[in-house]
Amino acid sequence: MPAKVALLRSEFLGLNEDVPLRDGRRLVYVNFDNAATTPPLKAVVNAINALLPWYSSVHRGFGYKSQLSTGIYNRARDYITRFFGADPGKDLVIFVKNATEALNKLSYRLRTRRGQVILASRMEHHSNDLPWRLKRKTLFTELTPDGRLDLGDLENKLKNNQVALVTLCGASNVTGIINPLRTIAEMAHYYGATFLVDAAQLVPHRPLHLRSGEAPDFIAFSGHKLYAPFGAGVLLGPATAFTKGFPELTGGGTVAAVSKTRILFAPPPEREEAGTPNLIGAYAVAKALQWLQEHDFPALATYEENLTKYAYNRLATVPGIHLYGPPPTVTPRVGVITFNLEGIPHGLVAAALAYEAGIGVRHGCFCARPYVHHLLRLSPEAITTYEEQIAAGKKQDLPGMVRVSFGFYNTREEVDRLIAALFFLREEEEKIKKSYRVNPLTGEYRPPGEDYQVRLDRHRESFFL
Ligand SMILES: Cc1ncc(COP(=O)(O)O)c(C=O)c1O
C-alpha cells in the first residue's frame, strides 16, 4: 500500500479491527458499506473528547460553559454555511438528525402556490420520495435504460407544469451516478423552480457549492455518512423559507414569547430546531468538513474516483457478474457499485462475503425500490407479486442487488480481497449454496454451525459489562 494511503488510513478510527469468519479464523474487516455509514475520523472523535469537559446547555443557560457551548454550536453553523459557499447573510444551516429529517422538514415547510407541483425522480432514495409523495402533488422524472436521469423528460415536466421545487439526489446511493447539478439548477431556475439537492451521497465524496458552484438552493445531508457519527444532519438553504408558517415540530426553543393567548415564534434557525440542540453532532459535522478542507478534498475525490474505476474494472472480470449503471469512465460516479452474480441470490453473496472473507457490504434495494426495479427491469406484474410476498411476511428470494461503497480510506488491496472472495464464491458456489440456510422470514442467509453467532453474541454482551 502506498505510504500516502497508509497515512490517510491512520486518520480513521477502527480500520484495523479483525472479525471472525465462519471457519474460526479472523481477518481485518473490510468495510465496503460506506454509503450507509462511515467510520469516524479520529480528528472528529478527538475534537469531541476535547469538548466534552466543557459540554453544557445550548441557548438555555448563562454560565461560562453554557455560553461557550452556545458559541460553539453557532460557530459550527457558520462554518458549515461558509464551507458550502452559501451566503451567511441569506442562507441558513438548520441542524436536524439526518438527511431524512432534513428532507421531511422542507416537505412540511416549503410554501407553494395553488396548482404548483414537486418534481422528483425515479432514482431517489425513499427519503427524497415519500415525504413529497405523501404530502404534495409530486411528479417523477423518468430515467434512461441504464439508470441516468432523462434530462429531456425533466425539462418537459418543467415546461408543462408549474413546478415549485425540483428535488434530486446529488449522487445515487444505488449506482453512485453524480447528477449534472449545474445544468439542472439552470433548468430549474429558468422555469422558476427552486432546486433542492439530497446531498447525502454527494457531500462525503465531492466538493459542492451553493451560490457560486452547482447552485442548488437547498441541500440536505447526514453527518454519519461523513465520518461524523454523532447524530446530526443538515438542511441548508435560504432563511426566508422559514420565516413564515409553523415549524413541523414545536415546543421549547422554537418560540420568542408565549402567553395564555399568544404564541410568537422565534426567527429561524431557532424556530426550526425544537428542543435541546445536538451540540456534539453539530460540532462533529463542522469538524469533519474542516478535516476535508485541510486534507485537499479535491485530491481525495480524485483518489476515490480512481479507486472506483479500478474496482469496476476488476469486478467486470468476475464470471457471470452483472454491473448496474453506466461505467464510471462514461458517467461520473461516487464510489458506489452495485452488481449481481448470475445464479446466486444477492443475500447469499453478501452473507458469503461476510462469513467467508470478513467483507461488509449491503444487499437488497437500498431504500430506493423504484430505482432498483428500473435497473432490474422488473415488470409491474413481477413487482406486484413480490410486494404481495412481502405483505405476507415472506422475504426469501426477493429481487435486489449487492452494493459495495467506498470511503477515502479504502484501498486497492481491499478491492483485490473482494475480487478474490467473489472468485472463491464462484468456485465453491455449489458447496456454499448447499450449506448456507436462508431464513424465509428475514431473507438472511447463515452458514452451518453456531460458532460465529456465539462470538457475535459474546462481543455484543461485552459492551454491557
Ligand atoms: C441518497 C440518500 N438520501 C437520503 C438518505 C437518508 O439518509 P439518512 O438515513 O442518514 O437520513 C440516504 C441514506 O442512505 C441516501 O443514500
234 lines ligand 1 (CB under 6 A): no
The CATH class given to the 3-31+296-462 domain equals: alpha beta
The finding on whether 167 has its CB within 6 A of some atom of ligand 1 is: no
Rounded to the nearest angstrom, the distance between the alpha carbon of 263 and the centre of ligand 1 is: 34
**Could you give the CA distance from residue 465 to residue 463 in angstroms, rounded to a whole number?**
6
Q: For residues 137 and 133, what is the distance between their CA atoms, to the nearest angstrom?
A: 7
Residues 204-243 as b/e (b if ≥16 CB within 10 A, e otherwise) read bbbbbbbeeebbbbbbbbbbbbbbbbbbbbbbbbbbebbe
Closest of 276, 252, 249, 298 to residue 101, by C-alpha? 249
| Cβ 234 vs Cβ 94: under 8 Å | yes
Any ligand 1 atom below 6 A from CB of 200: yes
Q: State if residue 102 touches ligand 1 by the CB under 6 angstroms criterion.
A: no
CATH topology of domain 45-294: Aspartate Aminotransferase; domain 2 (3.40.640)
Structural contact between residues 96 and 219, judged by C-beta atoms closer than 8 angstroms: no
In the annotation, is 169 catalytic? Answer: no
Whose Cα sits closest to atom 7 in ligand 1?
Answer: 99
Q: Measured from the CB, is residue 105 less than 6 Å from ligand 1? A: no
List the beta bridge partners of residue 119. 139, 166
- Annotate 40-96 with DSSP letters as a single string: PBHHHHHHHHHHGGG---SSS--SHHHHHHHHHHHHHHHHHHHHTT--TTTEEEEEE
The total of other beta-carbon atoms located within 10 Å of residue 142's CB is 16
pLDDT in tens, the chain (465 residues): 888 888 999 999 999 999 999 999 999 999 999 999 999 999 999 999 999 999 999 987 789 999 999 999 999 999 999 999 999 989 999 999 999 999 999 999 999 999 999 999 999 999 999 999 999 999 999 999 999 999 999 999 999 999 999 999 999 999 999 999 999 999 999 999 999 999 999 999 999 999 877 789 999 999 999 999 999 999 999 999 999 999 999 999 999 999 999 999 999 999 999 999 999 999 999 999 999 999 999 999 999 999 999 999 999 999 999 999 999 999 999 999 999 999 999 999 999 999 999 999 999 999 999 999 999 999 999 999 999 999 998 888 899 999 999 999 999 999 999 999 999 999 999 999 999 999 988 999 999 888 899 999 999 999 999
Computed on alpha carbons and rounded to an integer, the radius of gyration of the chain in Å comes to 23
Which atom of ligand 1 lies closest to the CA of 170?
Answer: 1
Report yes or no: 278 and 231 within 8 Å, Cβ to Cβ: yes
Q: How far is the CA of 272 from the centre of ligand 1 (A)?
A: 21
What atom of ligand 1 comes closest to residue 171's alpha carbon? 1
- Ligand 1 contacts CB of residue 272 (under 6 A): no
Kindly name the residue from 171, 199, 341, 367 that is annotated as catalytic. Answer: 367
Burial class (CB in 10 A: 0-12, 13-18, 19+), 172: buried
What are the structural domain ranges in the chain? 3-31+296-462, 45-294
Closest ligand 1 atom to the C-alpha of 224? 10
Whole-prediction pTM: 0.97
